[in-house]
Amino acid sequence: MSVHISAQEGEIADIVLMPGDPLRAKYMVDHYLKDAVLVSQTRNIYFYTGHYQGRRITIGASGMGCPSIGIYSYELFAFYGVQTIIRIGTCGAYTTDLNLFDLFLVDAACSESTYAQYAWGLSADIIPSTSSVREAIQTTAKKQAKTIRTGNIHSSDIFYRKDPAIPAIATAHQCLAVEMEAFALFANAQELGRSAATLLTVSDVIPTHAKISADQRETALLPMMELALESTLLL
């Protein structure tokens, strides 16, 4: 057991799919996992371990923001021997070059967050994802005939802000979109010598205020979930 995860040793698979939202994790388990076992329920962040097409995987939520995913991904890597975490989530597009429902595979995440610096002494403000995991997702996307966009993401600590301008760090690193977690996940993976990737669905386009509606959300994220699940078969 770790501080925030109550699973016993051996109950978590070597690969973890990590949506932000606990209910999305439960949805994936109910629709795609066989023989799923609930292995942790601390703070209602349920983790389930089961099988997808014979591949043992764990699915559990990260919560929102770098501090939250920083805790869960650290405990999974450091105390449960997890080798690979794939975050799946949503992002807001900074540009109309991206459209609602587009799949976006993150190359690297930049942030104003002090997480990497204060946790690990990593001074870089941009941290790459793991190329082998990106390649598995790219290969699987081709197999599934899905188009995916790639590029850098801005992992912001802020959802609501006064100034609507795109933050300078996002412009400096040519970020096409914003979310709130990938930077801390990649920092932990880099520090601990493990693998991580982030696959996102565009849920809003910031310049036009276009948004996926509440009733579209149920099905909007299925292509991303199915791509992430199938990618685990190559990892």
| 156 is a site residue for ligand HPA (CB under 6 A) | yes
| 180 is a site residue for ligand HPA (CB under 6 A) | yes
Residue list 74-93, contact with ligand HPA (CB under 6 A): 90-92
Active-site residues, by number, are 204
Nearer to ligand HPA, 123 or 213 (CB): 213
| 203 is a site residue for ligand HPA (CB under 6 A) | yes
Nearer to ligand HPA, 102 or 179 (CB): 179
3-state helix, strand and coil shares in percent for the chain, rounded to the nearest 5: 35, 30, 35
CA distances from 79 to 40, 62, 174, 229 (A): 14, 16, 35, 23
| 120 is a site residue for ligand HPA (CB under 6 A) | no
Q: Which amino acid is at 228?
A: A
Measured from each CB, the residue nearest to ligand HPA is: 92
| 155 is a site residue for ligand HPA (CB under 6 A) | no
Cβ contacts of 151 within 8 Å, gap of 6 or more: 104, 106, 107, 174, 175, 176, 177
| 204 is a site residue for ligand HPA (CB under 6 A) | yes
Beta-sheet strands, E only, within 94-233: 103-110, 126-128, 148-155, 175-179, 195-205, 210-211
Nearer to ligand HPA, 50 or 92 (CB): 92
Q: Shortest gap between Cβ of 18 and ligand HPA (angstroms)?
A: 15
| 62 is a site residue for ligand HPA (CB under 6 A) | no
Strand pairing report for 175-179 and 210-211: unpaired
